[in-house]
Amino acid sequence: MKKLILDVDTGIDDSISLAYICGQHDVDLLGVTTVYGNVDSEAAARNTKNLLSLLGRDDVGVYQGAEHALHTEGFTQQRGGAVFHGLNGIGDVELTQSDRAIETVSAVDFLLNMAHIHDEKITIVASGPLTNLAQAIKKDPSTMQRYQRIVLMGGAFTVVGNVSPVAEANIFQDPHAAKVVFESGIPITMIGLDVTSRVILSRDDLKQWESKNDVSKVLLQIMDHYFKAHELIYPQWGGAAMHDPLAAVVALHEDVVRTITVPVTVLTEEKQFGRTVLDLANIEDQQAHSVNVALNVDIELFKKYLLSAI
Ligand code: BDR
Ligand code: CA
């Protein structure tokens, strides 16, 4: 059984990522930590627990995390968050409320507790701003080193950003946190726009969900909003980018992407805010904090893994 923790800002593509992981029989999902991002922290936690319930996984705890970035005092939903994910984060679809309460333990303490308790290695799949992870690393860096790997959706290494010419949304929301994570020395696989903008699902790809079951029908309603946003903003793509699900698939099937291993850092000055770059200052010292940066993806293999599990 592969042990996983998801860190999400649910989010439509985060929702598909959750559905994919819940469809695995050989994954032990230890818990889900949530963070502001596509929506505020409370909405992200609520969406996550209601989705887990829809997916038949009320047994999985949801641990609410950061309410805003390290450099801000509060959070306001970005225009892109509302356009792509809806005001409520899940395409403005109203889910049945789960009876299970959000856990009282914070996301940061949960991450540290899990690293302490488990001797077996745990992978974190992070698909929101990296604030929770950075706070945990700042609080107890050596404990966080016990994680086997962080597979994160974030950044743009060789391509333009999606919220600024240089930055991808998750990194842009909290570049200071991202810098802490990238420079932590914990093994990281970076699943950035370099590859996620190429894994496009079309409405046709999901046709089979129409007649499958109630869960897939709800997921389809949620996805409808995401498709419409992509049809408006990226009509040339012919579908919607599966950013977060690619990170989840790679956590279980690393052969889906090809990576290079280089030190990566994050720029925080005004014009470069949130840009993920080669860390030239540490180029000689590959051991310092080398990151596997995904630069190529087997699109068909990704779709096969994703769609056969949901
Ligand atoms: C990332 O930003 C969010 O809008 C998505 O959920 C994804 O994690 C894509 O840039
Ligand atoms: Ca996300």
From 170, 222, 275, the mutation candidate for ligand 1 (largest count of ligand atoms within 8 A of CB) is 170
C-beta 279 within 6 A of ligand 1: no
Two tokens at 261? 């291993």
C-beta 155 within 6 A of ligand 1: no
pLDDT at 286: 62
Q: What angle do CA 250, 126, 16 make, to 5 degrees?
A: 65
Measured from the Cα of 12, ligand 1's closest atom is 6
Of 168, 129, 162, residue with least CA distance to 277:
168
CA–centroid distance, 163 to ligand 1, in Å, is 10
Q: Which CATH architecture has domain 2-309?
A: Alpha-Beta Complex (3.90)
Measured from the Cα of 127, ligand 1's closest atom is 8
Please identify every residue annotated as catalytic.
9, 243
Q: What is the pTM of this model?
A: 0.97
C-beta 48 within 6 A of ligand 1: no
Ligand (nearest to CA of 241): 1
What are the boundaries of each domain within the chain? 2-309
CA–centroid distance, 119 to ligand 1, in Å, is 32
Q: What is the mean pLDDT, run by run of 10 residues, along the chain of 310 residues?
A: 97 98 97 98 98 97 98 95 96 96 98 91 97 98 96 98 98 98 97 98 94 90 98 97 98 98 95 96 78 98 96
Ligand (nearest to CA of 84): 1
C-beta 169 within 6 A of ligand 1: yes
pLDDT at 118: 83
Which residues, other chains included, contact 149 with Cβ-Cβ below 8 Å and sequence gap of 6+? Answer: 121, 123, 124, 186, 187, 188, 189, 251
Which uninterrupted H or E stretch holds 191? strand 188-191
C-beta 7 within 6 A of ligand 1: no
C-beta 243 within 6 A of ligand 1: yes
Two tokens at 248? 């989840």
CA–centroid distance, 128 to ligand 1, in Å, is 7
Q: Rounded to an integer, what distance in angstroms lies between the CA atom of residue 36 and that of residue 42?
A: 8
**Alpha helices, DSSP H, located in the chain:** 12-22, 41-54, 79-85, 107-117, 131-139, 141-144, 169-173, 175-182, 193-196, 214-233, 243-252, 299-309
Two tokens at 150? 């962080």
Looking at the DSSP bridge assignments, the partners of residue 266 are: 276
Q: Rounded to an integer, what distance in angstroms lies between the CA atom of residue 249 and that of residue 290?
A: 21
From 8, 17, 38, 162, the mutation candidate for ligand 1 (largest count of ligand atoms within 8 A of CB) is 38
Two tokens at 288? 């310092």
From 9, 47, 171, the mutation candidate for ligand 1 (largest count of ligand atoms within 8 A of CB) is 9
CA–centroid distance, 8 to ligand 2, in Å, is 6
Q: Rounded to an integer, what distance in angstroms lies between the CA atom of residue 229 and that of residue 234?
A: 8
Measured from the Cα of 162, ligand 1's closest atom is 10
pLDDT at 289: 79
Q: Could you give phi then psi for residue 76, rounded to 5 degrees? A: -130, 135
C-beta 183 within 6 A of ligand 1: no
Which residues, other chains included, contact 168 with Cβ-Cβ below 8 Å and sequence gap of 6+? Answer: 154, 155, 156, 161, 162, 192, 193, 274, 276
